Amino acid sequence: MTDTTEPVIIPRAAASLLVLQGHVERGAPPRVLMGMRGARHRFMPNRLVFPGGAVDPADHDAAVASHLAPEVLRRLEKSAPASLARALGVAAARELLEETGLSLGEPPSLHGLDYLCRAVTPPPSPMRFDARFLVVDAAHVAGEIAGSGELEDLRWWEIEEALGTDLAGPQRMVLGQLKRWMAMSPAERLAPRPVPVLYHREWEEE
């Protein structure tokens, strides 16, 4: 008898970074850094995405100039061991530099990052990621946009402009979470709170 059971693909840990420029309270339309994945990408080709990628083994031990804020680290550690929680912040900074030319410093300063939400690629996708979406104010980054070419049309997108495009469902839903985060006060952002997690195209909390 032939075994037709599909192999279980374990989602790979990944980090994406939403770099936010402009806030409603500052009188400027909020914009977020996004770019288009090329047609040759295996995962989400021809889609508008945030800078990000899988966690590398070296991210666990990489030097940092400052650590993630304690509350951010606690929220990450709800679903990740301590080493991975730290590595997610490092990966977000590394991918930002590689894909956009913008930097959180070398070594990176992670204290300005906040943990927005998490999304797990559902089966039976042949490529699966357990992606944490972090957010940082553009005031914490330096440099000029000059990425590796991995992301095309890389620029600051007004949030409503991006929502008006043919976004993939997860990116659209993450931008919705970003709008909720922006509506919080600084004290609310620092307070303990549940983490929204996108499973099977539905939000849950952890």
pLDDT confidence of residue 125: 82
State residue 153's pLDDT score.
87
Identify the pLDDT of residue 63.
98
Tokens (6 digits) for 182: 């922006």
Distance (Å, whole) CA 30 – CA 204: 26
Which domains are assigned to the chain? 12-205 (3.90.79.10)
Q: Which pLDDT score, from 0 to 100, does residue 43 have?
A: 58
Q: Whose CA is closest to 186, among 130, 133, 137?
A: 137
Separation of alpha carbons 166 and 154, rounded Å:
16
Distance between CA atoms of residues 51 and 35, nearest Å: 8
pLDDT at 45: 54
Global confidence as pTM: 0.92
Q: Are 124 and 47 in contact (CB under 8 A)?
A: no
So what's the pLDDT on residue 27? Answer: 66
Return the pLDDT at 178.
97
Mean pLDDT per segment of 10 residues, for the chain of length 206 residues? 66 97 72 82 72 97 97 96 97 96 97 97 88 97 86 92 93 96 93 93 92
Is the backbone of residue 143 left (phi > 0), alpha (psi -120 to 50) or beta? left
pLDDT for the residue 37: 80
